A and B are shown apart, each in its own frame.
Chain A
């Protein structure tokens, strides 16, 4: 499944976001407990994107927000955001909201 620019995506609620030893992590819960052999560590960009996806957004909206937040070039920000979206879709971490 690849990202559709026109669809709004939202983070699945089956992860609990924690701060552990200064690191941002996601603990899979509910039916997702067996999806990952452990927890997921987020870097600052992916933590920002995950938090943004608490509410539905398209990839373009998220990439623009990343560019603004980190002062990044819009094309580079889009590429990085797409890479993470693909990874999250592959691991069934996002839902399509329409």
Chain B
């Protein structure tokens, strides 16, 4: 049996606390939201406010610095204020992800007293019509604007985040414009690079609504192309745009990585980061549900310590291992598992995305 003698030390610096997978919106591409029919069962199994407070205490003792509070929609929990305050008071760098449609005076009072270090506001359209198409709720558009205006009065860093699918593709520039007009030029919109299939029993039919790889790549280059168009003027032809691909692996200073730098999944998941799901499972990240330990049964510390023992990875497939587009590839174990249902298969959507991106490269 081979043993790892030089494995890097694991340290749980960053945590994701997924308070619920329920949401008041029904976004077509949501990775995590379950069908509303399951809500009663989900509520029965969600961790209690005391359990979250206990996990926060343990995480502080374990040396966790950053905590992302997310969902589903975390503000949907009636005990959100109690949970939030108990986490905050442990002294973490707090990020809060919300769709900003459920910001009440009570929540604002709490956030004014304990402002998160960062707030991520998801925005899925620039009009009620688009919100209706993407989230099944036209009125949510105004509520999002109203809530965002309130959240922007806090001293927190605010990040607007969007996911573009077929139904809001034509709004992608309008969303950016709306954010700048309403919340100031300093705000930009972060866009999900690749929309993966729903995970852990979530109900969204992502395949039917996400962009074609052609449109997805075009979208990821859109901001750069817009800047070029503005600078070059009339003679600009976007069909002539080519990207120079830097060989990051070759150019990177690998001196510190030579000594057999190892990780569980090739990322920070399970090494310096972890997620606790709504029902108390500890995972490497919020998306990869293939491996977990039970933080309710074991306690958070023990669940973190024993997590690597739950990880059993197959040999990587030869196609991916020898792929000349690996530098461009967006896939990771979580994406592969979401897309194919197992950890070793090649995620076709990501492959096609790579091929399109490659066609733009010199």
Residues of B with C-beta under 8 A to A20: 63, 65
With both beta carbons as reference points, the residue of chain B lying nearest to A26 in the complex is identified as B91
Residues of B with C-beta under 8 A to A69: none
Q: A18-B60, A21-B11, A39-B65 are in contact. Are A31 and B92 (CB under 8 A)?
A: no
**Which of A25, A29, A31 is within 8 Å of B65, CB to CB?**
A25
Residues of B with C-beta under 8 A to A16: 89-91
Most chain-B Cβ atoms within 10 A of its Cβ — which of A20, A28, A31? A20
Q: A33 at interface (Cβ–Cβ under 8 A)?
A: yes
| Chain B interface residue count, Cβ-Cβ cutoff 8 angstroms | 18
User: Are A34 and B91 in contact (CB-based, < 8 A)?
Assistant: no
Q: A1 at interface (Cβ–Cβ under 8 A)?
A: no
User: Are B113 and A33 in contact (CB-based, < 8 A)?
Assistant: no
Q: B117 at interface (Cβ–Cβ under 8 A)?
A: yes
Distance of B141 from chain A, by nearest CB (Å)? 28
Distance of B66 from chain A, by nearest CB (Å)? 9
User: Are A34 and B63 in contact (CB-based, < 8 A)?
Assistant: no
Residues 19-77 of B at the A interface (beta carbon under 8 Å): 60, 63, 65
User: Are A21 and B63 in contact (CB-based, < 8 A)?
Assistant: yes
Residues 28-47 of A at the B interface (beta carbon under 8 Å): 28-34, 38-39
Q: Is the interface of B mostly helix, strand, loop or mixed?
A: loop
| Chain A interface residue count, Cβ-Cβ cutoff 8 angstroms | 17
Q: B201 at interface (Cβ–Cβ under 8 A)?
A: no
Q: B139 at interface (Cβ–Cβ under 8 A)?
A: no
Residues of B with C-beta under 8 A to A28: 117
Q: A16-B91, A17-B91, A38-B93 are in contact. Are A30 and B113 (CB under 8 A)?
A: yes
User: Are B93 and A27 in contact (CB-based, < 8 A)?
Assistant: yes
Residues 84-131 of B at the A interface (beta carbon under 8 Å): 88-93, 113-117
Residues of B with C-beta under 8 A to A30: 113-115
User: Are A34 and B157 in contact (CB-based, < 8 A)?
Assistant: yes
Residues of B with C-beta under 8 A to A17: 91
Residues 117-157 of B at the A interface (beta carbon under 8 Å): 117, 155-157
User: Are B63 and A29 in contact (CB-based, < 8 A)?
Assistant: no
Distance of B28 from chain A, by nearest CB (Å)? 34
User: Are A34 and B156 in contact (CB-based, < 8 A)?
Assistant: yes
Residues of A with C-beta under 8 A to B60: 18
User: Are B115 and A31 in contact (CB-based, < 8 A)?
Assistant: yes
User: Are B91 and A33 in contact (CB-based, < 8 A)?
Assistant: no
User: Are A39 and B93 in contact (CB-based, < 8 A)?
Assistant: yes
Residues of A with C-beta under 8 A to B115: 29-31, 33
Residues 207-221 of B at the A interface (beta carbon under 8 Å): none
Residues 272-315 of B at the A interface (beta carbon under 8 Å): none
Residues of A with C-beta under 8 A to B114: 29-30
Residues 1-30 of A at the B interface (beta carbon under 8 Å): 16-21, 25, 27-30
Distance of B92 from chain A, by nearest CB (Å)? 7
Distance of A41 from chain B, by nearest CB (Å)? 11
- CA gap between A21 and B60 in the complex, in Å: 11
- CA gap between A27 and B157 in the complex, in Å: 15
Residues of B with C-beta under 8 A to A34: 117, 155-157
User: Are B11 and A29 in contact (CB-based, < 8 A)?
Assistant: no
- CA gap between A39 and B24 in the complex, in Å: 34
Residues of A with C-beta under 8 A to B155: 31-34
Residues of B with C-beta under 8 A to A39: 65, 93
Residues of B with C-beta under 8 A to A21: 11, 63
- CA gap between A22 and B60 in the complex, in Å: 13
Residues of B with C-beta under 8 A to A18: 60, 65, 91
Residues of B with C-beta under 8 A to A29: 88, 91, 114-115
Most chain-B Cβ atoms within 10 A of its Cβ — which of A17, A19, A27, A28? A27
Residues of A with C-beta under 8 A to B92: 27
- CA gap between A30 and B65 in the complex, in Å: 16
Instruction: Jot down 11 A-B pairs with beta carbons below 8 A, ordered by A.
Output: A16-B89, A18-B65, A18-B91, A20-B63, A21-B11, A21-B63, A25-B65, A30-B114, A31-B115, A31-B155, A33-B117
| Given A31-B115, A32-B155, A33-B117, 12 other A-B residues pairs in contact with their CB atoms under 8 A | A16-B89, A16-B90, A20-B65, A21-B11, A21-B63, A25-B65, A28-B117, A29-B114, A33-B155, A33-B156, A34-B155, A39-B93
6 tightest Cβ-Cβ pairs between the two chains A and B: A16-B91, A34-B155, A27-B91, A20-B63, A33-B117, A21-B63
